[in-house]
A and B are shown apart, each in its own frame.
Chain A
Amino acid sequence: MDRSVAVWVFAALSLVVLMALPLGWLGWLSVSGEHGATLAHYRDVFTDLALRKALWNTVVLAFWVGLVSVALGAPLAWLTARTDIPGRGLIRGLVLASFVTPPFLGAFAWVMLAGPNAGILNTLWRSVTGSREPLLNIFTMPGLIFIVAIYTFPYVYIMVANTLALIASDLEEAAAILGAGRLTVARTVTLPMVLPALASGFILAVLQALALFGSPAILALPAGFHTVTTQIWSLFQFPPKVEQAAAFSIPLLLATALLLQVQKRVLGRRGYAAVGGKGGQRRTIPLGAWRFPALFACLAVMACAIFLPYGVLAKAAFARAWAQPLSRDNLTLGNFTFTFFEYGATRDAIVNTLELGVMTACVGAVMVAVLSYVTNRRLVVGHQLVAFLALAPVVVPGVVLAVGLFIAYTRPPFVLYGTLWILFLAYLTKEMPVGYAQADATFRAIPADLEDAGRVLGAGRLRILKEVTAPLAKSGIIAAWCFIFIGVIRELSASILLFTPSTKVMSVVIFDLKEEGQFGAISVLGLVMLGLTFATVALVQAALGRDVLGTRK
């Protein structure tokens, strides 16, 4: 009984500090006027033509990103999960790389690749074809959709690939024996079975696009249009209109919550006996002559997400002028010396980022480990509610969370603005669901019978925890640690509203430099960030003994 109380007090306190206070203030400020409650802010926000346009832009962006992500992610998932396409491991590795690439870095790199005039691809296109028109113009809505989608499709990929890995081939074979052609089988058997995964992946992609700040700020603003996130951010400019920002955050919050509800329904309907079982054969479909064309198609997608952007970042890091060829005159280490030795903000930002990353990951990993252990072993009354609370922050987009935290923690009793703590709270809240999901999966995979065996042999719960459960859960919790860490070091959308000059983090420094057009320094810092990310990914893979995308051995 007293154990339940402790867990509950802990969970309730965390909930208040992380969610209730910020969101409560957010809701309250959005309706507070000088003379009590008012809907004036909502009226201001929704009658303002510019804000309505931003809202519409976000709808368009999110919808198309969802569709394009499905169009890219589903075929890739099918090819790697079901066919004999060569280089499956390579493709999975590249999808993973795209998954962990900070989207704002990708967007920045694509400015150098496909700016309509100086963009390297467009220059190349013109010199080859003699055309006067650019091949691609990244500063457009389609351009933005494309860039967001190439870093969002892994969500669809993961959902679909993991589902396909669980579907046995017998139904498909049965259909084939009954005389259905390959296409008919795909349409009438395979597709319906992966449909929930597709829909769910679509929704996840839409959610990502809704919450994104960096890519629209880098690509939409130069083209003269806003999205909800960039608009909320600019409402903080002096004189700040925090109430309007709060009111404008609410639709984003509601849309996210609604979409997640829909996703849950969709996944909940997955009652097909054929999916989810472990039995049955999964037959590899031979692609025949299509093997290599299919591989090239996959690599083309990955070139857009990985090879080209990484390449251009590396080039710009070593170049005096990024748009010029990398000749001897253009080669320099100046960007590195400037970034690390002359620009004072770099070191502090790297230290802050690492400090926050480690701190959040450690606290987060312990929290999710305790919470998921408690919920999995049903140690307290109402454990389902604990699980719900741990996953709840998923409905709060980063910018919205930041608006709430800003309002809550710039005033007494808790003035945390100006310290690393406010960023810590933001990161912890934001990464909690990811960490919890990982830890939950870990404990689920450890059957309780092992612990019961220990019990029978007379060991106490603590001793079992130490000698049985902990060794088994260790790698899963390390993975949770890494997921949280990766999430933290790339975080921009909440940080951008919560930093102060003495608490800058790397992503914010990169954004600052972007506003000033310091391409060389951004590229250097971007490479550092990628290096950190991939080192951490390597750590997860080593801990888990498999890649981080899913269940496949």
Chain B
Amino acid sequence: MSKRSMALAAVVVAALLAGLVVAGDAQTQDARLEAAKKEGKVVWYTSLVLPSAERVAKLFEAAYPGVKVEVHRTGSQRILQRVMQELQANIKNVDVVHTSDAGHFVLLKDKKLLAKYTPAGVDAFPAGFKDRDGYYYGLRATVNAITYNTKAMSAAEAPKTWKDLLDPKWKGKLVTAHPGYSGVIATHVLALVHLHGWDYFKALAENRVMIVQSANDPATVVSSGERIVAVNGGDYSAYQLKKKGNPIEIVYPKEGVPLVVSPTAITSFAPHPNAARLFTDFTFTRECQQVMADSEGLYTGHPEVTYPADKPKLNELKLLTVTPEELEKRNEELKKRFVEFFGA
């Protein structure tokens, strides 16, 4: 605990220093901070796994005392549902939206619900992290991987490819998360439909797969031993669990791993626009991005961020990508067919 809080303190100090140094125009910066303080808080709807989201919020609050972050964490699809339901009732609550379903941002942009804002420092990010029109930017990335329980099998016995999971020997031993909840999984399903077709999922469902909701949950289910192989899920939450000593190992299938870039954007109706911009800039600083890479096991678009030695580099993996536009267009089809095969 004390080690972690020291690390946290170090990061906070670094972030503060960076804030002081990086500030190009100190005066505008001050004015903006004052405006943000007057607003008092920023409301963040996020699909980042809860402990990580709370950590980012605490870092920000330490760097900018006087501006609180209200974290509302749930699955990507639930966040979109929230935002749209609230707007229908004319409720303007959310400042910053962050989900793992890039298609949402195409939809929100089309409906003119996003504010155009380019966070400081994202110019250097790769193209896959940037919206051409300047509305949303990839805050973090993860890949879908297979996770298995090391107490239940050796590395040699573990499945190596997505197709290995179709083997009947895994019947009753698999767990999947749900594209109707998670953007990571919606992206995963679409990428694998491109790779192997819907027949793949039809065959997978034959293995009586347990269904959970969040992309973070398959790895916890595998850690507990309730099922011994996770057929998808963000590798970052699995990495965190592994680091905590849970008996799990991550497999990056050779056919390629679906890359999920999770965008963030400020809403056009944000009730706390200054705090929203301050917060968004903060999340894209090297310091915050480095924390995500180090303690959370995420990938980022920041060119200077370094990664833990025990995680593969993104450029070592064969990445399967889908476009936000296609994800948006096929969102309903993905959910419907998944439910058709898996039952719920």
Contacts and interface: CB of A to CB of B under 8 A. Distances in A.
A130 interface: no
The majority secondary structure among interface residues of chain B is mixed
Interface string B9-52: 00000000000000000000000000000000001010001110
A518 B226 CA distance: 15
Given A238-B81, A344-B54, A115 B49 contact: no
Contacts of B343: 223-226
Nearest to B178: A221
Interface string A21-50: 000000000000000000000000000001
Contacts of A502: 70, 93
Contacts of A224: 209, 211, 342-344
A118 interface: yes
A515 interface: yes
A222 interface: yes
Given A344-B71, A410-B85, A502-B93, A119 B344 contact: no
B339 A50 contact: yes
Contacts of B181: 515
A223 B205 CA distance: 11
A237 B180 contact: yes
Interface in A221-248: 221-226, 230, 234, 236-240
A118 B180 contact: no
A138 to B, nearest CB: 10
Contacts of B77: 237-238
Interface of A: 50, 115-119, 139, 220-226, 230, 234, 236-240, 320-323, 338, 342-345, 409-411, 415, 417-418, 500-502, 512-513, 515-519
20 contacts: A116-B226, A117-B225, A117-B226, A119-B226, A221-B213, A225-B343, A230-B344, A238-B81, A320-B244, A338-B51, A344-B71, A410-B85, A417-B89, A418-B89, A502-B70, A512-B73, A515-B75, A515-B212, A515-B214, A516-B213
Residue in A117, A323, A501 whose Cβ sees the most chain B Cβ within 10 Å: A501
Contact of A117 (B58, B70, B90, B228): B228
Given A117-B226, A224-B342, A501-B70, 4 more contacts: A342-B58, A344-B54, A344-B71, A517-B216
Contact of A516 (B49, B211, B223, B335): B49
A516 B88 CA distance: 27
Contacts of B244: 320
B54 A342 contact: yes
B153 to A, nearest CB: 13
Contact of A342 (B51, B85, B210, B226): B51
B217 A344 contact: no
Given A224-B211, A239-B332, A516 B50 contact: yes
A431 B96 CA distance: 37
B45 A501 contact: yes
B80 interface: yes
Contacts of B323: none
A320 B70 CA distance: 26
Interface string B49-74: 11100100110000000000111111
Contacts of A410: 85, 88-89
B82 interface: yes
A320 B220 CA distance: 12
Given A240-B84, A342-B58, A515 B213 contact: yes
Contacts of B246: 321
Nearest to A519: B220
Nearest to B209: A224
B214 A517 contact: yes
B227 interface: yes
A343 B70 CA distance: 10
A230 B84 CA distance: 20
A501 B90 CA distance: 15
B340 interface: yes
Interface in B192-247: 209-214, 216-217, 220-221, 223-228, 244, 246
A221 B211 contact: yes
Nearest to B246: A321
Contact of B224 (A240, A321, A501, A516): A321
A225 B224 contact: no
B91 A238 contact: no
Contact of A517 (B91, B221, B225): B221
A222 B54 contact: no
B304 interface: no
B225 A500 contact: no
A500 B86 contact: yes
Nearest to B244: A320
Contacts of B84: 238, 240
B344 A226 contact: yes
B225 A501 contact: no
Contacts of B74: 512, 515
A236 B80 CA distance: 11
Contacts of B209: 224
Contacts of B50: 343, 513, 516, 518
Nearest to B71: A344
A237 B81 contact: yes
B210 A139 contact: yes
B230 to A, nearest CB: 11
A345 B75 contact: no
B344 A221 contact: yes
A108 to B, nearest CB: 13
Nearest to B332: A239
Residue in B74, B75, B224 whose Cβ sees the most chain A Cβ within 10 Å: B224
Contacts of B212: 222, 515, 517
Contacts of B340: 50
B327 to A, nearest CB: 13
Interface in B136-153: none
B272 to A, nearest CB: 13
A172 B181 CA distance: 59
A501 B85 contact: no
Contacts of A240: 81, 84-85
Interface string B147-174: 0000000000000000000000000100
Contacts of B89: 409-411, 415, 417-418
Contacts of B180: 234, 237
